[in-house]
Amino acid sequence: MKILPALFASVLLTQLLLSANDSDDLNSVIEEMTSIATKTKLNADYVPGTVTVISGEKLKSLGITNLAEQNAYDTIVGFDSSTLSLRGAGSIYGSQGNKIKWMINDKPFSAEILGLPILGTGQLVIPIPTDAIERIEIIRGPGSAIYGGNAIYGVINIITKKGAGAVFTTLSQMESNKFGKGIGAYGLFEQNDLKVSTIVSLEQSDGWDLSATSQSRSEHGNLPSASGNNLLMADASYKNIDFWAYRMQAKNNYTRVQWDPTNGIPLDNTKPVQSSINTLLGAQGKYDVFSNVLLTAKAGINQYTNRADLIYPSNSGQRIIDYAESTKYAEGSAETTIGSHRLLGGIYASVLSIDRNNRTQSWNTTNSLLSPKDIPNRINKALYIQDEIQLDEKTTATIGTRYDTYNDGRKALSPRIALVHIYDDSNILKAQYSRAFRPPSFSEQYSSNNQSVDQKFESEIADTLELSYIFKTNDSSIKTTVFNTKTSNMITYHDNTYETINLEHPTTVNGLEMELSKNYETVSLGADMAFYKSHRGEVKLTRTGTDYHYDSSEFALSANFLANVFATINSDTSYPTTLWYHYTGKKNRVNNVLTTTTSVVGTNGSIPAQDYVNVTQKIKGVAKNLDLEFGVKNLFGKTLRTLYFPLNSPNSSDIPYMGQTFWVNLLYKL
């Protein structure tokens, strides 16, 4: 008998009938202060552009216990976790998270091999347990005016807890009697002017039995999905100086490393085959000068390493990858208020270097992951300025721009102008124009799939116009945004050859995003949905006498519709029950016609729409200072599938990545 499912079923049935007086409304209107949109603290509803704030408590109530999970970001409006893309960008076009600015506690981090079309690398995994997360702040849309490159379709900032301590543990049971376990703690030490907060966690999972097919090789088998993560984070402050030291290690198997149906079925095992480590070190000082000027100086170093050992038994092949990169950066900013103007300005400089670039493959003599072996450093310098102008009691204008230069001759100007009008206590109107840019990553610029490693790709530029309306009362809210994004020189991969290309014609995405919430005495309801219409111009490429021409189309692997529905029963008690329904619409693989010199090949079909239901039960105060939470992820046991690359025929096999999980979590507050 499955112990966790039995526990879940029996206690859930009982607790649905219970009530108490302790309030824990997970779907109430969030009145969070955030600085993600302007680097100055404002209420999330009043900042320029489209900003969403999700608490760690809400993520956990929806069944997300760690951000390393495959569906961890599905709760974000318009986010497709299986492709790590925002706002209809799709997988190849979203480059597996490479077109989003990722930050932890306002410290950016990234990797130049995200989205690498050499299989076995390039997945972003952030192994932070939700028990240790205060909130996640999200900008949907361009953020380059403040954050520079890569903030082209969004900015995501993960804020961790730094308060009183707690110890937590999570146990899970997957299908076929496979198990997962995790343990962690966070705490705060204070003495005089010294404060030190730490987070530590360990997690291991056997994964699921995921049946996969390699159509090219006529093979069937089980795709390994084991994972293991560990985390150590330390933040310290002494007077006006802050220090941080983070180390995040994610160990994964093929469901998170882009297994390709053209390869053989990997060995079925419970040992992860890839390890990626993000290390962030740095310090920041804040200084009040004169009467109203705040100076901030920051310096740090980020290192990313990737080690993969991949075996393909059908062709006795093995690929070993040993890669490391580091970014050293410094930033200084000044903030002041003069009359109705709130001014912010800053300078930034960074040096990105490849420290190790090794690949060994048993079937050829290639000895580097990226070509050439020695890649030049990338030096980035930037200057930014912003003015928040209080036009009157109800209207604020934000005007700003950032100018970036690179040592290879690239330049980018990223302006934005935004208006926020608070009509009354219930109605808020927003309008914004913004531009973002992204230079090609090293995996795009120096991929061995490219015809020439000396080819220079243009930076992609996205111009976005968006209009937002917010209506909110004490117990309900409606947030709506419509936008148009036009991207020039989009950097992507050719759907057939997987070479990096700049799209000659501009691409567009039109979208409508909505968030709704309604709170009753004992029930809280919420929903969000996103509608996208994308368009890509025709693509022409000639290789070895063959013309690979694609008609204009929608983006491959980009869903037109994504939605979430939330319901918390007994929300005003110590026994809340939360249900979450997630829906991802169908995605076209190659939604066009491939024309060669000898044939015309039709479309490669589509990935059907997918959905799942999570149910979570919480019991607060099951013992003194102890909370119990448990539930089922993917209630009906569907095998969720995706296809990271829009492969052409005959490879139309959908890759499985997640099954059903029962879990239980204990949180003890110190």
Average of pLDDT values for 395-405?
96
- DSSP letter assigned to residue 574: S
Dihedral sign for Cα atoms in the order 146, 151, 156, 158: negative
Q: Which domains, from first to last, does the chain contain?
A: 3-181+287-300+327-347+363-669 (2.40.170.20)
Number of Cβ atoms within 10 Å of the Cβ of 542: 11
Range of weakest confidence among 171-180, 234-243, 519-528, 599-608: 599-608
Q: How far is CA 571 from CA 32, 448, 525, 580, in A?
A: 20, 54, 10, 14
Average of pLDDT values for 482-509?
90
Across the chain, what does the average pLDDT equal? 87
What is the SS3 assignment for 420? strand
| pLDDT, position 605 | 78
Q: Which of residues 455 and 225 earns the better pLDDT score?
A: 225
Q: pLDDT tier at 243 (50, 70, 90 boundaries)?
A: very high
Tokens of 128: 């932070």
pLDDT at 580 over 90: yes
| pLDDT, position 253 | 84
Question: What are the pLDDT digits (tens) for 80-124?
Answer: 998 889 998 877 777 788 899 999 999 999 999 987 766 667 788
Model-level pTM? 0.92
Answer whether 291's CB lies under 8 Å from 245's CB. no
Average of pLDDT values for 123-152?
92
587 DSSP β-pair partners: 607
Report the C-alpha gap between 351 and 406 in whole angstroms.
10
| Most trustworthy range by pLDDT among 538-542, 601-605, 648-652 | 538-542
| pLDDT, position 6 | 44
Range of weakest confidence among 372-381, 386-395, 612-621, 650-659: 650-659
Average of pLDDT values for 139-155?
91
Range of weakest confidence among 328-332, 600-604, 665-669: 600-604
Question: What are the pLDDT digits (tens) for 179-218?
Answer: 999 999 999 999 999 999 999 999 999 999 888 888 777 8
What is the SS3 assignment for 110? coil
Report the C-alpha gap between 98 and 177 in whole angstroms.
35
Range of weakest confidence among 85-89, 241-245, 330-334, 416-420: 85-89
Mind giving me the DSSP string for 600-617? EE----EEPPEEEEEEEE
pLDDT at 395 over 70: yes
pLDDT at 9 over 90: no
| pLDDT, position 23 | 36
| pLDDT, position 550 | 81
